[in-house]
């Protein structure tokens, strides 16, 4: 499924990143700009990544520059082709295209290796035989300086020999690392002789078994930016403390270009966790149905749930780009989705928990076609025909035998309007042996076709319905927030905050015939119920619909 509105609207909102880019172009510092989106292919992208995607691609588009898609594929133990494919699909779904500018950090492995040798030869990198525990102990803390490794003063010749033997595969995983020689007393822990290379005997998705040493992110990232002549390396605030290291490598290597790093606040949303480690655990522990489970905050999950890409872009645009972290109220996201769907989604009728209604004075065997509006906000969407006959289904919750005051729906003796059809009056409730209502016996007024009484009498409720004979059976998956609190894990246990009612499956629903060919992933409005889309598991023999979002936010009020 692709979003019908694939072309992103120009992101003309002002922010400090755009101000910097505009000033750099105006001053002649750069003749054109190059940004990049550099995901690690070790999982699926989530809604937080959408902010970075829209910013990097949006800025490049607005200032007629270039945005590269570069995979930071430096850890083959966690990377898979599935993730590479999903990331490309997600970026395209959001409405962006990198053109010919698709790159991988692995494209630069040979150059990165040569630069590592350059640092060794200049006495600015060394091979360390310390164990992982020893390295951690030597690193120090935020209040205590680190301590120099006993291997820190090896000669350049010895370090070069060991590093080449590391590449040749002579040593097992974890036996040695290559570290930059900077300052073990620095107040910035990232500058305390950071690891540049580690030994990892793993098959790489692109380079196979050619390499058994892999560069760490901090070493690979800035140099990859330089090789691609990136002008503005835009990243989230957690990399702010890494910036001095980013610049140290550029200062000490013969790189072809000098990119500049800028940090912005990441996207945080209430009732949502965007930790890739936690999301991976949810998938591996089968707590969700894969990375594209509609309860997941992944872009694949949102797409499967029927969230339009245009709504997500609009949400990100409204959140804006700031320097300080904050948490966005989930209702802001919900509003962006509803606002878009209210304008674009076709209207249909679906009954989630059916209760049969027999209209006793309607002619047996007669079926008539009633005209229904596809979208009241879009006259060009036209109309459709819905069959109507003696037997229909309404929602169970639309009937009460002994209703309280202000219950205006069906009850014995009350009259209601059927959407697009007639006024009907409930005469009798039929019950089973357990005393449960299984069927309603009603009558209709044949003079009220279209829902209006010629004598001007008023009714206080309009119900949706589907024809009993022509409606289609469907499974409805009702999704609620994955967490029960707006700040999941605040008490120290994320799993304890998982919502046990995040999914409700209704197997006996009925939907109108027009939904037989519902497009996968494209939301429609079930009148009075919310927005739903056909799931990827749906087929003509078994219709399955996911709830995208309700018409109103009842969850936050619970």
- Residues involved in catalysis: 40, 266, 276
DSSP single-letter state for residue 233: E
**SS3 label, residue 236:** strand
Q: Determine contact, residues 20/273, Cβ cutoff 8 Å.
A: no
Judge contact between 311 and 428, C-beta under 8 A: no
CB 409 within 8 A of CB 379: no
**Token code pair at residue 379:** 């006259």
Three-state secondary structure call for residue 108? helix
Distance of CA 460 to the CA centre of its chain: 40
What are the start-end ranges of the H helices in 12-155?
A: 16-27, 47-62, 81-93, 109-121, 132-139
In terms of Cα–Cα distance, which of 8, 556, 59 is closest to 315? 8
Q: For residues 551 and 335, give the distance between their C-alpha atoms in angstroms, rounded to a whole number.
A: 10
Judge contact between 47 and 312, C-beta under 8 A. Answer: yes
CA 48, 50, 54, 56 torsion-angle sign? positive
Strands (E), 294-349: 327-328, 347-348
- Which H/E stretch holds residue 318? helix 309-319
Distance, in Å, from the CA atom of 310 to the CA atom of 3, rounded to the nearest integer, reads 8
Q: How far apart are CA 75 and CA 202, in angstroms?
A: 9
Contact 197, 178 (CB under 8 A): yes
Cα–Cα dist 281/487, whole Å: 19
- With left for phi above 0 and alpha for psi between -120 and 50, is residue 489 left, alpha or beta? left
Nearest to 226 by CA among 262, 258, 186, 193: 258
Place of tokens 């989106």: 37
End-to-end Cα separation, the chain, in angstroms:
34
* Phi, psi (degrees; rounded to nearest 5) at 71: -85, 125
**Per-position b or e across 461-472, b if 16+ CB within 10 A of its CB:** ebbbbbbbeebb
């Amino acid at each position: 499924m692709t979003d019908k509105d694939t072309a992103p609207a120009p992101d003309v909102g002002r922010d400090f990143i755009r101000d910097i880019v505009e000033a750099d172009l105006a001053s002649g510092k750069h003749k054109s700009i190059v940004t990049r989106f550099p995901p690690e292919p070790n999982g699926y992208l989530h809604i937080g990544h959408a902010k970075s995607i829209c910013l990097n691609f949006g800025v490049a588009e607005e200032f007629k520059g270039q945005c590269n898609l570069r995979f930071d594929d430096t850890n083959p133990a966690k990377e898979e082709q599935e993730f590479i494919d999903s990331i490309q699909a997600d970026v395209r779904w959001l409405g962006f295209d990198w053109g010919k500018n698709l790159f991988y950090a692995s494209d630069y492995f040979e150059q990165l290796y040569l630069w590592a040798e350059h640092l060794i030869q200049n006495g600015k990198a060394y091979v360390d035989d310390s164990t992982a525990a020893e390295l951690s102990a030597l690193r120090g803390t935020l209040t205590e300086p680190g301590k120099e490794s006993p291997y820190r003063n090896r000669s350049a010749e010895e370090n070069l020999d060991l590093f080449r033997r590391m590449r040749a595969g002579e040593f097992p995983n974890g036996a040695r690392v290559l570290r930059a020689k900077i300052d073990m007393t620095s107040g910035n822990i990232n500058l305390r002789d950071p690891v540049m290379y580690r030994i990892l005997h793993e098959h790489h998705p692109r380079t196979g078994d050619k390499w058994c040493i892999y560069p760490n992110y901090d070493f690979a990232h800035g140099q990859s930016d330089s090789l691609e002549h990136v002008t503005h390396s835009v990243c989230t605030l957690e990399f702010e403390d890494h910036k001095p290291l980013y610049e140290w490598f550029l200062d000490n290597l013969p790189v072809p270009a000098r990119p500049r790093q800028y940090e912005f606040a990441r996207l945080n949303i209430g009732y949502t966790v965007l930790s890739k480690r936690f999301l991976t655990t949810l998938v591996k522990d089968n707590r969700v149905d894969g990375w594209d489970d509609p309860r997941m905050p992944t872009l694949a999950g949102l797409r499967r749930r029927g969230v339009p890409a245009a709504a997500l872009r609009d949400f990100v645009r409204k959140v804006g780009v700031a320097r300080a972290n904050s948490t966005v109220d989930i209702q802001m996201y919900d509003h962006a989705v509803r606002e878009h769907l209210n304008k674009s989604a076709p209207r249909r009728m679906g009954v989630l928990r059916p209760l049969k209604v027999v209209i006793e004075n309607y002619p047996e065997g007669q079926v008539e076609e009633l005209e229904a509006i596809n979208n009241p906000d879009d006259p060009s969407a036209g109309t459709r025909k819905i069959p109507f006959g003696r037997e229909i289904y309404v929602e169970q919750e639309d009937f009460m035998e002994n209703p309280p005051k202000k219950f205006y729906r069906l009850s014995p003796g009350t009259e209601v309007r059927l959407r697009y059809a007639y006024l009907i009056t409930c005469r009798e409730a039929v019950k089973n042996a357990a005393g449960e209502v299984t069927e309603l016996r009603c009558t209709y007024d044949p003079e009220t076709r279209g829902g209006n009484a010629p004598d001007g009498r008023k009714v206080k409720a309009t119900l949706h319905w589907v024809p009993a004979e022509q409606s289609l059976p469907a499974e409805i998956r009702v999704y609620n927030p994955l967490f029960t609190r707006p700040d999941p894990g605040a008490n120290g246990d994320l799993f304890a905050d998982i919502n046990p009612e995040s999914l409700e499956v209704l197997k006996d629903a009925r939907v109108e015939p027009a939904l037989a060919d519902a497009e996968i992933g494209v939301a429609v409005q079930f009148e009075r119920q919310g927005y739903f889309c056909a799931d990827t598991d749906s087929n003509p023999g078994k219709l399955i619909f996911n709830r995208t979002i309700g018409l109103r936010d009842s969850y936050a009020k619970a």
